Chain A
Amino acid sequence: MTAGLWKIILQGVGVTLQLLVYSALLAAAMSFVAGAARTHRSRLVRFVAGLYTEVFRGTSALVMIFWVFFVLPVAFGWQLVPMWAGTLALGLTYGAYGAEIVRGALAAVDPAQREGGIALGFTPWQRLRLILLPQAVPEMIPSFSNLLIELLKGTALVSITGMGDLAFSGNLVRLALQQSAQIYGYLLLIYFVIAFLLTRGMRGLERRLKAEVAR
C-alpha cells in the first residue's frame, strides 16, 4: 500500500473518531434524560420516554441512517451536514439502549436511599442528582462500555451514505488496489485497536469511580 492510500485510511479514522465522539455525547445525553424520565412521577413524562426507547430500540440503525439522510431532506426540507445527520441517527438510536442502562441502574439503587432523601426534604431532582446518580453511575460503566463498542461498530454504517469514514475509505482503497483480504484485514484490525483502547479506558474509569464511592 502506498503512502497516499494510507493517508486516505487515516482520514477515515479521523472521521470515524469524530463521529464516534459526537454520537457518543448525544447518546449519553439521551440516555440520562430518557432513563431518568422513566422514573418520573408524571405518567405522561414516563410514557414519552418509554415511547422513545421502545421505538428507537426497535428500529434498525441502518434504516434510521437512511431515513435521516434521505427522508428528512425530502419530506421536511431538513438537509443536514452528513456529520450531523450521522450523529443524529446514531446518537438517538444508541441513546435508547443507554436509557435502559440508566433506568436499570437507577432502579437497582436501594429504595431506602430514596426514602432517606425524602425524609430530609430533598426535591425529586435533588434526590436524583445528589443521591441516586452518584451511586448508580459506577454501576452503569460496564454496560456503557459494551454500548460504546456497539456504537463504534455502528459508525461504519454511515459509509453507505458516502460519508468518508474508515469503512468508506477502506472501500475506496480496495477499488484502487483490488486486494480485498489485505485491506479489509487492516480495516478490521484498526477497528479492533480502537475498541480495545475504548474498553481499557472505560475499565479505568470504572475503577476510579468505584474507588471514589467506596473510599
Chain B
Amino acid sequence: MSVETSKQPAVTGTVPTELIRIEGVTKRFGENTVLDGLDLSVDAGRHVTLIGPSGSGKTTILRLLMTLAEPDEGTITVAGQRLFPAPEKQVREVRKKIGMVFQQFNLFPNMSVLRNLTEAPVRVLGLSKDEAEARARELLDLVGLADKCDAKPTRLSGGQQQRVAIARALAMRPQVLLLDEVTSALDPELVAGVLDLLRDIARSTDITMLCVTHEMGFARDISDQVLMFDAGRVIEAGPPEKIFGDPERERTREFISAVL
C-alpha cells in the first residue's frame, strides 16, 4: 500500500527542515485565554501528538494553522510563509499544503462521496476531472470504501464517513495533516478501523501529522513527539516512551493515569 504525498522530499539525513513555526501565539475567547504565548516548532515528516485536558488549547492550535481562527498575538509560519497577516492569495497557498480531518467529519452532504474527494483537487489544484477521479478511487480503495463512490455521505456510518474525510484530506496531497479528535464522535466499535487506517498512513507516508487525540495507545504508536498541554501552554514535551512511561511533571502523570 502506498499513498503519494507532497513533492517535497522526505526528511533525509540528519538535517531536519522546519515546516511549522509558532512563536508567542496567544489566543483569547473573551475573558478566557486558551493559548498563552505558545512557542512550537515542527519539522517536516514528524508526527506530533497533542494531549491534555479539554479546553487546554490543543484544538485551537490546529484551527489557527488551518486559518479557521486568528491569533491575538504572535506569528505562525508554514513552509517559510507567514500567516496572519498575509495576503489572501498567500493564505490560500498555505491552505493547499495543509489538510484537516474534523471531529464531526464535515463532509459535504450535497455531494456524492466521490465528488467530496474530487471537487477540491479539480477546483483548487486544477487537476483534470479524470486525474482527480483516478486519485479519488485509489484513495477510497485505500480506506476500504471503493464501493461507496456514488453514495451520499449521510448514508454512511460515522466510521465510514470519517474514513472518507481522511481520504478527502489526502486527495489534496497535503504536506501537513491535522487530525482533530477524529474518533471522538464515533461509536466505540468503529474507532479501531479509523485508527488502523491512520497508523498505516503514518507508517507509509512522509506527511507531517499534528494530532489531537484522547486515544493514548494510538498516540504512543504513531508519535515522534508528544506535547502535554495545560491552560494554554505546553508543560511537557518528549518522545512517547518518556511522556507515557516516566513523565517529569506531576500534572502530566495525573492526566495520563486519568485517561488510561
A residues bordering B, Cβ < 8 Å? 112-113, 115-116, 118-123, 126, 130-131, 134-135, 213-215
Contact = CB atoms under 8 A, between A and B. Distances in A.
Contacts of A123: 92
A123 B89 CA distance: 10
A214 B153 CA distance: 9
Q: With a 10 A CB-CB cut-off, give which of B99, B123, B125 has the most chain A CB atoms.
A: B123
B109 A120 contact: no
B99 A119 contact: yes
Interface in B64-111: 66-68, 92, 95-96, 98-100, 102, 104, 106-111
B21 interface: no
A123 B108 CA distance: 16
Nearest to B119: A130
B154 interface: yes
Main secondary structure of the interface of B (DSSP, over half): loop
Contacts of B107: 116
Nearest to B178: A119
B106 A116 contact: yes
Interface in B137-171: 152, 154, 168-169
Contact of B68 (A115, A121, A134): A115
Interface of B: 66-68, 92, 95-96, 98-100, 102, 104, 106-111, 119-120, 123-125, 152, 154, 168-169, 172
Given A214-B152, A215-B152, A120 B110 contact: no
A131 B110 contact: yes
B120 A118 contact: no
B67 A118 contact: yes
Contacts of A120: 95, 99, 119-120, 124, 168-169, 172
Contact of A213 (B109, B119, B172): B109
B95 A118 contact: yes
Given A122-B124, A213-B109, 5 more contacts: A119-B66, A119-B68, A120-B120, A126-B124, A130-B111
A126 B109 CA distance: 16
Contacts of A130: 108, 111, 119, 123
A191 B82 CA distance: 62
Contact of B95 (A119, A126, A131, A214): A119
Nearest to B104: A112
Contacts of B99: 119-120
A135 to B, nearest CB: 5
A135 B66 contact: no
20 contacts: A112-B102, A112-B104, A113-B106, A113-B108, A115-B66, A115-B106, A116-B102, A118-B66, A119-B99, A119-B100, A120-B124, A121-B120, A121-B124, A121-B125, A122-B124, A131-B108, A134-B110, A135-B108, A135-B110, A214-B154
B130 to A, nearest CB: 19
Contact of A121 (B95, B152, B154): B95
A15 to B, nearest CB: 39
Contacts of B98: 119
